[in-house]
Amino acid sequence: RNGDGRAVLRSSVREFLCSEAMYYLGIPTSRAASLVVSDDEVWRDQFYNGNIQKERGAIVLRLAKSWFRIGSLEILAHSGELDLQRRLLDFIIQEHFPSIAMNDSNRYLEFFSTVVSETANLIALWMSVGFAHGVCNTDNFSLLSITIDYGPFGFMDSYDPNFVPNTSDDERRYKIGNQANVGLFNLSKLLQALKPLLDPRQKQLASQILEGYGERYYIRFTELFKAKLGLLGENEDDNYLIAFLLKVSLLC
């Protein structure tokens, strides 16, 4: 795509500030440890109007418990490196999923169930603050369900399910209203990568777990928005009220 892979100072400062904001909003995220200004000059068309100018480059050092993504397992499954995939998956479980016993024959199934649940939780949290990731592909979805990439992200000023922060996303694939669906798509890719390591019964159970993703997301989304509105207890009209207020916000 003719990209040079470099970051400029303004976008790096923005990335630093956003990840810290997300952390203090209680949203699982990687964090920025430092920002270093480069002596290199980078050519950028900041406003996409043909006015290309030199800008200062910069590098953000990001920290996270793990940088393994769905794509980390997907690429091994695609290339048929199942022994390496199994070793990597066991390492990830041992290091980052202490509730899963390594001698459990269903450990990969338990791992998948946890990732499905936590991914639904993460995207619901994104939606609760109007955060649009911008590039929700499998390489940008953490297996630990944390926000690891701050590229063309954005926050909605007012509710708009068609909001897209990524100017290169002409098809609006990653619009904010589609983030939950893209999460499901990515999790289906994870399941596809795990299937060679599962027996027939586990494959069936994993498919059922994936089918429950939508309900898990909806429950968490509702919990978060009810908390915003100060709604206590359970009322059948709560979901209607949330949908109505979002629609009013869209029309304003």
- The radius of gyration of the chain's CA atoms, rounded to the nearest angstrom, is 20
Looking at residues 134-141, what average pLDDT do you find?
Answer: 95
pLDDT score of 246: 86
Q: What is the mean pLDDT of residues 32-51?
A: 90
DSSP 109: H
Which pLDDT belongs to residue 170?
87
CA–CA distance, 196 with 202 (Å, rounded to integer): 11
pLDDT at 110 over 90: yes
The one-letter amino acid code at 215 reads E
**Residue of 233 and 87 predicted with greater confidence:** 87
- Give the Cα separation of 245 and 214 in Å (integer): 22
For the chain, the distance separating the N- and C-terminal CA atoms, rounded to the nearest angstrom, is 37
Question: How are the residues of the chain apportioned to helix, strand and coil, as percentages rounded to the nearest 5?
Answer: 50, 15, 35
d(CA 87, CA 181): 30
Q: Could you confirm whether 139 is annotated as catalytic? A: yes
Residue 146 has pLDDT above 80, yes or no: yes
- Quote the pLDDT of residue 49: 86
Residue 248 pLDDT exceeds 90: no
pLDDT exceeds 70 at position 215:
yes
Q: How many CB atoms lie within 10 A of CB 211?
A: 11
Residue 9 exposed, middle or buried by CB count within 10 Å (0-12, 13-18, 19+): middle
Q: Residues 17-39: pLDDT tens digits?
A: 999 999 999 999 999 999 999 98
Catalytic residue among 90, 139, 160, 169: 139
- Average pLDDT, integer, range 72-79: 97
Hey, where are the domains in the chain?
7-63, 70-227
Distance CA 188, CA 93 (A): 19
Question: What's the 3-state SS for 60-87?
Answer: EEEECCCCCEHHHHHHHHHCCCHHHHHH
Handedness of CA 210, 213, 216, 220 (dihedral sign): positive
Q: Is 39 exposed, middle or buried (0-12, 13-18, 19+ CB in 10 A)?
A: exposed
What is residue 30's predicted lDDT score, i.e. its pLDDT?
Answer: 97
Give the residue with greater pLDDT, 244 vs 190: 190
pLDDT above 90 for 208: yes
**Is residue 1 scored above 60 in pLDDT?**
no
Rounded Cα–Cα distance for residues 100 and 92 (Å): 11
What per-residue string of b and e applies to 119-135 under the rule 16 or more CB within 10 Å gives b?
bbbbbbbbbbeebbbbb
The mean predicted confidence, pLDDT, of the chain is: 94
pTM comes to 0.93
252: pLDDT confidence band, cut at 50, 70 and 90? low
Higher-pLDDT residue of 48 and 165 is 165
Bridge partners, residue 69, by sequence: 142
What integer pLDDT is reported at residue 251 of this predicted model?
A: 65
pLDDT tens digits for range 83-103: 999 999 999 999 999 999 999
pLDDT band at 234 (very low <50, low <70, confident <90, very high): confident
Q: Which of 26-35, 91-100, 106-115, 243-252 has the lowest mean pLDDT?
A: 243-252
Neighbours of 144 (CB within 10 A): 21
The answer to whether residue 250 scores a pLDDT higher than 80 is no
